[in-house]
Amino acid sequence: MRDRGRFTGIASAVAVVLSLVFVGLEVRESGRQTALNTRSVQASAYQELIGRILDFNEANVARPELIINISRALFDSLPEDEQRQRRSIVVARFRYGDLAYYQYELGMLTEERLESAIRPAVGPICSWLFLYVWSDMKDNFVSSYRQFIDDIISDNENCREIP
């Protein structure tokens, strides 16, 4: 009878140890799957942003007459619809930058990927048209993105006040 009780105790202890090993393996596998899913989401987010960059490039090739880095005098001489088109292009770039920054805030992009993806939005940021559009519409964005763009402008020695 005592042997039976000792055997039951040992068997119970072995069962507990085996259960803990199994749970540990499951937790480890779950962590591995979570890491793979995170990398997959990050890759998809970056791929989407690259697709948008390609759209910008395609639009530049299709409509080269709509360049956005033009002088204030030339811009002012354009018909209103062409001015509106150029402003819309700049707004689209800021919206794209907002999307990239949001994905960064969510952890879908690393800081290094954000810096790479944000170039189309901030590359010509010191041009008068970008500064003008930004000052006119910045309140339409969340404060963290506004601060991000304002920091880029203030850190860039080539930026100056809007003429």
* Domain assignments of the chain as residue spans, ordered by start: 41-155
For the segment 13-54, what is each residue's pLDDT rounded down to a tens digit? 777 776 777 667 677 766 667 655 666 666 676 667 666 666
Share of the chain above pLDDT 70, in %: 70
- Residue 95 vs residues 43, 137, 161: alpha-carbon distances, Å: 20, 11, 22
At residue 11's C-alpha, the angle toward residues 8 and 17, to 5°, is: 140
pLDDT value at residue 146: 95
Q: Residue 64 above 70 pLDDT?
A: no
Residue 74 has pLDDT above 50, yes or no: yes
> What is the band of 80 on the pLDDT scale with cuts at 50, 70, 90?
very high
| Closest by Cα among 129, 143, 124 to 74 | 129
d(CA 161, CA 91): 19
- Spatial distance between the Cα atoms of 25 and 20, rounded to a whole number of angstroms: 9
Using one digit for the tens of pLDDT, what is the confidence trace for 91-110? Answer: 988 999 999 999 999 888 88
Confidence grade of residue 163 (pLDDT, cut at 50, 70, 90):
very low
Euclidean distance between CA atoms 4 and 98, whole angstroms: 70
Q: Tell me the H-state helices in the chain.
A: 2-62, 72-77, 80-105, 111-117, 119-122, 128-137, 143-155
- The pLDDT, as a whole number, for residue 61 is 56
Angle at 43 between CA 103 and CA 114, to 5 degrees: 40
pLDDT at 38: 65
pLDDT of residue 75 exceeding 70, the answer is yes
pLDDT for the residue 134: 94
The pLDDT assigned to 66 comes to: 62
Instruction: Kindly calculate the radius of gyration of the chain based on its CA atoms and give it in whole angstroms.
Output: 27
Query: Mean pLDDT across the stretch 63-89?
Result: 83
Alpha helices in 63-79 (DSSP H): 72-77
d(C-alpha 107, C-alpha 92), whole Å? 23
Alpha-carbon gap, residue 64 to 68, rounded angstroms: 10
Contact 105, 144 (CB under 8 A): yes
Q: What are 113-151's pLDDT values in tens digits? A: 898 888 877 888 888 899 999 999 999 999 999 999 999
